[in-house]
Structure 1
Amino acid sequence: MSSPRWLRRDGAPRLEFGADYNPDQWPRDVWDSDVRHMREAGVTIVSLAIFSWAKLEPADGEFDFAWLDDAMDLLHANGILVDLATATASPPPWLTAAHPSILPVDRLGHTIWPGGRQQWRPTSPIFRRYALRLVSVLAERYRDHPALAAWHVSNELGCHNIYDYSDDAAAAFRGWLRDRYVTLDELNDAWGTAFWAQRYTDWAEIIPPRLAATHPNPGQQLDFKRFSSDALKQYLVEERTILRAATPDVPITTNFMVMGETKGMDYADWASEVDFVSNDHYRQPGPQSLDELSFSANLTGNIAGGRPWFLMEHSTSAVNWQPINVPKKPGELARDSLLHVAHGADAVCFFQWRQSRAGAEKYHSAMLPHAGTDSDLFRAVKSLGDRLTSLSSLAGTPRTRARAAIVFDWPSWWASELDSHPTDRLRYRQEALDWYTAFLDLGVRADVVPLSAPLEDYDVVVAPILHVVPADLAKRLDAYVSAGGHLVTTYFSGIVDEHDHVWLGGYPGALRDLLGIRIEEFAPLLDDESAALSNGTVGTVWTDRIDLTDESTEVLASYDSGEMSGRPAVTRRPVGNGSAAYVSTRLGATGLTPVLSTLLDRANLHSDLPVALRGQVEVAQRGDFRFVVNRTDNPLDITELGAPEPTLAARGVAVFRA
């Protein structure tokens, strides 16, 4: 990170509480009641002016700050901090009308028109000129305002405009490629352009991977994903540079989206560009909904390097953008919020403060709902505010590291799901989440860490679908195992280098010798096929025809049906005090649980939870504070965990000094 800074504020440490606030959507006479109810709810901070460009600059070069001055002063007078946005997330209609060339273009060549949000090209020089002018004016005007606690760069960068295929993007892509490869010969080698007569002889010939008659070059696709993440990161840095020059004492953040299938931005790479990490998270329906929340919060905390991070957005209840938007059950508002705190968040905020009357998100829940203060939802908000106040003493306390880790790698995510692969059914993040659920079901804590994390800190490291393994990473993993670490990896791992070139000699390529196995050909499964294993589990999506190449490699489970019958399905190769294990099929969370149990037992890593509570609760530790989260819809007896209250309510969270 650029520096380990938190909010600019006076007073003792505390857990911050608040929301996005959009006073410009409401008459001025509503604002006074807003701040009154904010104080009633325990709100300490709001994010302001996120989508206010059209209000702040109603015409080119004509600025109106009177309303924002009023809002800033009102919030400060009521003791509420401001995370002030640069308001650049969505350009105003006058700008897109005057300069339609700032609008993104999709891979089919279609213009993405205004009418929604984020209708701008990350690489547009014209957009940057106007946006950075606004940032400069805002920074100068509010640099000394006492309410200003942090700067909020744009909003959810890349949520809707990560991939732009315009001419601006093409020019910037070529510049990025020149920096990466220097010569066309190096680029041609990296992309394997000898195939299909794709060899480039001039940089000007290179374009983004737009719609082609057949599948675009995979090296080109992978590099375009890297470039697109870098282009938005560069934009973040440009805004940050202006803000830092004007207000060196005010920390700068932007809200990541570590959640679900949002994968275009390499947040592990972005984290060093902000003073503190912020994240937006919204739950998706399904059997692993709560586990996914925990997984994302866990990963966010480790992207933040263990330092406090800011939960910038989540929902009090229903959202508006899913096919069916159901409200949260009693207890879920507090549980979801506190689970983020358990994984290191020192601020809990929502979208938004007051539920909108109009617009695309008018049915998205808020802290103050359409029903007003006389509502169960507002009472739940107040209760959470009180609870966060009571927990202020844990602010700044780092989350205690686990003994096991799951590695998460954006390049492997991108590359493993490209087209022209053995199957398009593979889902990188789902495989990682299944392993996380298996850890939770066994009652064993595991961190979710970026690949850059110090793996030597962990006794067991699971690296699911670690598809991209450059030579230096292969050496690093070998050293980890040789030093006594226990590595677990899965199907389609170790297959390619950083250029998406296959490691020759048989799969799993760069990890073949470490694992003590060799695979000649992949054997993906059709949708209606499955593979029974000797341990009673059933695999889907993928199988491998494994040959053992080291006499010490043991078979923990074999295939028990079909063409693979009798062949190894799960293997483990001891290496001194360490080991390297391989799981060759998708087992899902339920099927992974017995496999993981065996592997953890071999690594002498066991749950410290009572047997009756394993799988029923999630436990996290921050300093001497223990969080016990009820994963069920039933009350649980947690007397054996030392909790002051013996019964944990359904969907409840107990926080106590252990």
Structure 2
Amino acid sequence: MPHLGDATRGRILFGGDYNPEQWPEEIWHEDVRLMRDAGVNSVTLGVFSWSRLEPEPGAREFGWLDTLMDLLHAAGIGVVLATPTSSPPPWMGRLHPETLPRTEDGRVEWWGGRQHFSHSSAAYRRYAAAITEDLAARYGGHPALTMWHINNEYCTFDHGDEAAAAFRRWLRERYRTLDALNTAWGTAFWSQGYDTWDGVLPPRTPHYLKNPTQVLDFRRFTSDMLLECYRAERDIVARHTPHLPVTTNFMPLWIGQDAWRWAEEEDVVSVDLYPDPRDPFGAQYAAMVQDLTRSQARGPWMLMEQAAGPVNWRGVNHPKPRGMNRLWSLQAVARGADAVCYFQWRQSRQGAEKFHSGMVSHAGEEGRTFQEVKQLGADLAKLGPHAADRHITAEVAVLHDWHAWWAGAQDARPSTEVDLPAVLTAWHRALWENNLTADFAHPEHDLSGYRMVLVPQLYALTDAAIDNLLGYVRGGGVLVCGFLTGVADEDDRVRDGGMDARLRELFGIRVLHEWWPLDPGETVETDGFHGTLWSEELEPAADARVETVYRRGELEGMPAVLRRDRAWYLSTLPEPDALRTLLARIAAEAGVRPVLEGLPPGVEAVRRGDLLFLLHHGREPVTVVLAGAHHDLLTGTTVTDEITLGRYGVAVLRP
């Protein structure tokens, strides 16, 4: 199977989305000059080019793309060629209105934007296959081609009639009989029982609340339908170029895709990453996404998109301060990226994203953005031979599952304040601030290689996942679990006792009497910290060890944190400092040590192979104490015993 290394060949890919159809041809030659000046070695072509390639049904205009492929190859720049199927031309929606998706209340999503296609539409799939086939046949042998990029940010939902028919087929495959569907969906509630498959619809707008398991299955169905679209195009290009890797770009922690399953279908796992430069924890959010993507890839991965400066879709779009673009890009390399790319190469002058930055901004080559891009290109060229294809070893795993998220992120729950990505971020932040490198894993993955496994929250768990957690602890692992875990099964059926009995025994919970969610801004006091978001009325088992109890109020004297042997349970979300301290203590007991001890605040340390990356997320200089002499690959100097990092400074050290 091809992989990212087939495209990198001991270097780090550097470049971004290139949309030359927005510019006259004379600009193309200027672009190539600037790309070479910046050290760009890879560009992605064709992501939004469908109407240019197929201006009317069946027509093909490849001449402009021929010119660009040849031009880039002559300059030594590789091409990641995209199938343009994320944005169909207007003629498709006009001639085939069934290709347009519909919202849950029946509104049509018209052309004029992007991602305006129904994943279930036979017409859309036919046109997508045809343009993909012709692209692969024409360019499969072109020497510039290094990789395929299918579609872009798969993110469409469709509640229309063609999707409804596909949903019914999907459900029949899953359940076989209406009795099984009625049982899984709990249709005895509110007189929802189905007597014919024709009566089953997507979860369209109801008078009141939707059936939760119907919504859960519709999310599963949507992920599967989009995956079918991806696989159809992937198989076409793979038939023409079996030696070239294929990818499609994830959006980070997007709710619409089961990314564990999708990653298994990709040769290269890639992600788009846009932390807010004004967010004081933007770097931690980026690290979390990078750890998740690396774990999905099981090795090196591709940063497909980031911003060289401001984006255009926040309420207030701030630029990146001087040095931050380099810092965050090298952070991605530290956490396993073998490709650092942007949306986009040249900032657009028209269209909806004309205020989204590019590697070449409106200020041109003299602008700060491009000058910083040049510096980054030089840095990546130095690192490529040493860092590319190196792996990262982690002793901690954080568990995440899209199906558990889908089941827990619905209406009519105990608290709308509980947001899984926020909880996940809080737990990962505690690890990040402790410089404890973590992988992510699915709850049914093999966990035996980790000393400590964290479950920030997994509302719904299969029996196989629960057995896996029990086996992990029996095998000597340390398990730390957050609230609202193991509440439901895979059909969103609440388990007896409000939490699976096997998990209650594991953690030393005799009875879970009640959930006590907290109001926005409310905290609950314990004898060690303040808890946020949630609390629980627990009765511990006789052999459980109560680590922390609630103080005051209805829960006074009841356990907030308890453990039974190597299994810990947190019935609230401790405030950040407390969670960081608690997880550091548990990690130390499990034999997990930070990458580097005694780091100044704001300095992140990551080991990739034998390289030590030091990333300073502050503006004032700091000094990091080292053991012995190291060679800094970025400066070419040898440092002994200590190194000073300036504003947003980075060092990449080799013993």
The two structures share one fold, judged by TM-score above 0.5: yes
Which residue in the other structure is 1:135 paired with? 132
Cα distance in 2 between the residues matched to 1:310 and 1:507: 39
> Cα gap change, 1:449/1:350 in structure 2, threshold over 3 Å: closer, same or farther?
same
Which of 504-513 and 580-589 deviates more?
504-513
Distance 2:6 2:559 in 1: 57
Tell me if the contact between 2:213 and 2:407 (Cα under 8 Å) persists in the aligned partners: no
The one of 325, 329, 336 equivalent to 1:344 is 336
Q: Give ranges in structure 2 of 5+ residues lacking alignment.
A: 631-637
> 1:239 corresponds to which residue?
233
2:335–2:392 Cα contact (<8 Å) kept: no
- The answer for the alignment partner of 2:270 in structure 1 is 278
1:566 aligned residue: 557
Distance in 1 (CA, whole Å) between partners of 2:592 and 2:3 is 35
State the shift of 1:632 in Å.
2.6
2:535 is paired with a residue of what secondary structure?
strand
Q: How far apart are residue 508 of structure 1 and its match? A: 5.3
> How far off is 1:237 after superposition?
0.4
Give, in whole Å, the separation in 1 of the partners of 2:119 and 2:458.
Answer: 29
Alignment of 1:413-452 (within 5 A): 413-452=405-444
Match of 2:544 in 1: 553
Within a 5 Å distance, the mapping from 1:268-347 to structure 2 comes to 268-284=260-276, 285-306=278-299, 308-347=300-339
1:103 counterpart (100, 105, 113): 100
The equivalent residue for 1:66 is 63
Kindly state the Cα deviation for residue 612 of structure 1 after the two structures are TM-superposed.
4.5
Cα gap change, 1:564 to 1:508, in 2 (>3 Å)? farther
SS of residue paired to 2:364: coil
- 1:490 is matched with 482
Q: Is 1:405 aligned with 2:403?
A: no
Letter in 2 for 1:82: V
- Rounded to whole Å, the distance in 1 between the matches of 2:335 and 2:593 is 21
- Indicate yes or no: 2:586 matched with 1:594: no
Distance 2:419 2:260 in 1: 20
Structure 1 residue 631 displacement after superposition: 2.9
How far did 1:641 drift? 5.5
CA distance in 2, matches of 1:65, 1:452: 46
Provide the rounded CA distance (Å) in 2 between the counterparts of 1:69 and 1:215. 53
Opposite residue 251 of structure 1, the aligned amino acid is P
Q: CA contact under 8 A between 2:285 and 2:425: conserved in structure 1?
A: yes
Aligned to 2:365: 373
Q: Which deviates more from structure 2 when the two are superposed, residues 31-40 or residues 584-593?
A: 584-593
Q: Aligned runs of 1:191-230 on 2, under 5 Å?
A: 191-230=185-224
Q: Does structure 1 residue 530 correspond to structure 2 residue 523? A: yes
**Conserved in 2, the CA contact under 8 Å of 1:319 and 1:365?**
yes
Deviates more, 1:367-376 or 1:509-518: 509-518
Q: 1:357 to 1:311 in 2, by over 3 A?
A: same
Partner amino acid for 2:189? Answer: F
Cross-structure match for 1:639 = 625
Q: CA deviation at 1:399?
A: 2.7
Deviation at 1:380, TM superposition (A): 0.6
Name the CA distance, whole Å, in 1 between partners of 2:26 and 2:360. Answer: 16
| More deviation, 524-533/597-606 | 597-606
189, 193, 197: which one pairs with 2:183?
189
Residue 633 of structure 2: aligned partner: none
Q: Secondary structure at the match of 1:627?
A: strand
In structure 1, what is the Cα distance between the partners aligned to 2:240 and 2:226? 22
SS at match of 2:554: helix
AA at the equivalent of 1:527: P
Task: Indicate the residue corresponding to 2:605 in structure 1.
Answer: 619
Please give the per-residue CA displacement for 1:490-538, whole angstroms capped at 9, x wherever unaligned. 1100101111111103435551111110312211122253201110x21
Contact 2:488/2:499 (CA < 8 Å) preserved in 1? no
Contact map agreement 1:636 1:647 (CA 8 A) in 2: yes
User: Following the alignment from structure 2 to structure 1, what is the Cα–Cα distance between the partners of residues 346 and 79?
Assistant: 16
Residue identity over aligned pairs, in percent, reads 42
- The residue number in structure 2 matching 1:153 is 150
1-structure distance, mates of 2:444, 2:378? 38
Residues 50-77 of structure 1: per-residue CA shift (max 9 Å, x gap): 1000000111111111101111110011
Q: What letter is aligned with 1:611?
A: G
| Deviation string, structure 1 residues 554-580 (Cα, Å, up to 9, x no partner) | 111111121111110011110xxxx11
Q: Is the 8 A contact 2:336 2:392 kept in 1?
A: no
The alpha-carbon distance between structure 1 residues 641 and 334, as it changes in their structure 2 partners (threshold 3 A), is farther
Alpha carbons 2:616, 2:649 under 8 Å: kept: yes
- TM-score under structure 1 length normalisation: 0.95
After alignment, is 296-305 or 622-631 more displaced? Answer: 622-631
> Counterpart of 1:595 in structure 2: which amino acid?
L
Report if the CA contact (8 A) 1:7-1:250 is conserved: no
Contact 1:627-1:656 within 8 A present in 2 as well: yes
CA distance in 2, matches of 1:453, 1:328: 38
2:105 is aligned with 1:112: no
Tell me the distance in 2 between the aligned counterparts of 1:528 and 1:376: 41
Residues 492, 508 of structure 1: 8 Å contact kept: no
Matched, 1:94 2:91: yes
> Any conservation in 1 of the 2:2–2:243 contact (CA below 8 Å)?
no
Please state how far the C-alpha of 1:132 moved relative to its aligned partner.
0.9
Question: What are the ranges of 5 or more consecutive residues in structure 1 without an aligned counterpart?
Answer: none
The one-letter code sitting in structure 2 at the alignment partner of 1:474 is: I
3-state SS of the aligned residue for 1:457?
Answer: coil
Q: Is the contact between residue 86 and residue 135 of structure 1 (CA under 8 Å) also seen in structure 2? A: yes
Query: Structure 1's 148 and 604: CA in aligned 2 closer, same or farther, altered over 3 A?
Result: closer
Pair 206,167 (structure 1): closer, same or farther in 2 beyond 3 Å:
same
Amino acid in structure 2 at the alignment position of 1:374: E
Could you tell me whether the CA contact under 8 Å between 1:48 and 1:82 is conserved in 2? yes
Deviation at 1:395, TM superposition (A): 4.5
Cα distance change on mapping 1:59 and 1:542 into 2, 3 Å:
same
- Secondary structure of the 1:638 match is strand
The alignment's C-alpha RMSD in Å is: 1.6
CA displacement at 1:609 relative to structure 2: 2.6
